[in-house]
Structure 1
Amino acid sequence: MTKKVSFGAKPSAQPANPDQWVKDRAVQEKEPTKRLTIDIPESLHRAIKSQCAARGAKIADEVRELLLQKYGNQ
Structure 2
Amino acid sequence: MNKKIKIGTKPTNKSIPLTADAWVESQKGCMNESMKRLTIDIPENLHRLIKVSCASRGTKIADEVRELLSQKYGKV
Give TM class, smaller chain: 0.5 to 0.7
Q: Distance in 2 between matches of 1:51 and 1:43?
A: 12
Please list, as runs of the form range in 1=range in 2, the aligned pairs for 1:36-51 lying within 5 A after superposition: 36-51=38-53
Deviates more, 1:60-69 or 1:16-25: 16-25
> How large is the RMSD of aligned CA atoms in angstroms?
2.0
Unmatched 5+ stretches in structure 1: 1-14
Provide runs of 4+ in structure 1 moved above 2 Å. 15-27
> Percent identical across equivalent pairs?
62
Cα deviation per residue 1:26-73 (whole Å; 9 max; x = unaligned)?
431111111111111000000000011111111111111101111113
The TM-score normalised by the length of structure 2 is: 0.64
The TM-score normalised by the length of structure 1 is: 0.66
Unmatched 5+ stretches in structure 2: 1-16
